[in-house]
Structure 1
Amino acid sequence: MSKKFHIVFGRQGAGKSTYSKKLTKDIEGVHFSIDQWMWKLYGKDMPKSMNLKWIMERVDRCEQQIWETAKNISDCGVEVVLDLGFTKFEKRELFTSLAKEQNIPTQIHYIKAPHDLRKNRVLKRNNEKGETYSFEVTSGMFDFMEGEFQIPREKELKKAIIIDTGETENNENK
Structure 2
Amino acid sequence: MTRTRRPTVHLLCGYAASGKTTVARRLSADIGAVRFTLDEWMLSLYDWVPDDPEYGPAAERAKELIWSVASQCLGLGLDVVLDWSQWSRERRKAWSSRATDASANVVIHYLEVPLDEALRRLAARNLERPPGTHQLGIDEARSFFEEYFEPPHINEGLELVIERVT
Q: Do Structure 1 and Structure 2 share a fold, with TM-score over 0.5?
A: yes
Q: TM-score, normalised by structure 2?
A: 0.86
- SS of residue matched to 1:84: strand
Query: Who is 1:170 aligned against?
Result: none
Query: Who is 1:108 aligned against?
Result: 108
Q: How does 1:94-105 map to 2 (within 5 A)?
A: 94-105=94-105
* Alpha-carbon distance between aligned partners in 2 of 1:4 and 1:62, rounded to the nearest angstrom: 21
- 1:148 CA displacement: 2.7
Identity of aligned residues (%): 25
Q: Is the 8 A contact 1:34 1:85 kept in 2?
A: no
- 1:3 CA displacement: 1.6
- SS of residue matched to 1:152: coil
Q: Is the 8 A contact 1:110 1:161 kept in 2?
A: yes
- 1:71 CA displacement: 0.7
Displaced runs of 4+ in structure 1, greater than 4 A? Answer: none
- SS of residue matched to 2:46: helix
Query: Who is 1:50 aligned against?
Result: 51
Q: How does 1:1-174 map to 2 (within 5 A)?
A: 1=3, 3-43=7-47, 46=48, 50-52=51-53, 54-130=54-130, 133-146=132-145, 147-156=147-156, 159-166=159-166
What CA deviation, in whole Å up to 9, does each residue of 1:114-133 have, x standing for no partner?
122111111111112235x5
Flag the 1:19–1:157 CA change in 2: closer, same or farther, 3 A: farther
Counterpart residue type for residue 101 of structure 1: D
How well do the aligned residues superpose, as a CA RMSD in angstroms?
2.1
What CA deviation, in whole Å up to 9, does each residue of 1:3-45 have, x standing for no partner?
21111111112111111111111011111111111221122xx
* Alpha-carbon distance between aligned partners in 2 of 1:149 and 1:16, rounded to the nearest angstrom: 15
Flag the 1:69–1:158 CA change in 2: closer, same or farther, 3 A: closer
- SS of residue matched to 2:159: coil
Q: Any unmatched runs of 5+ in structure 1?
A: 167-174
Flag the 1:70–1:158 CA change in 2: closer, same or farther, 3 A: closer
- 1:162 CA displacement: 0.5
- Name the stretch that deviates more: 27-36 or 143-152: 143-152
Flag the 1:98–1:50 CA change in 2: closer, same or farther, 3 A: closer
* Alpha-carbon distance between aligned partners in 1 of 2:158 and 2:80, rounded to the nearest angstrom: 21
- SS of residue matched to 1:107: strand
Q: Is the 8 A contact 1:5 1:81 kept in 2?
A: yes
- 1:158 CA displacement: 5.9
- SS of residue matched to 2:67: helix
Q: Any unmatched runs of 5+ in structure 2?
A: none
Question: Which has the larger share of helix?
Answer: 1
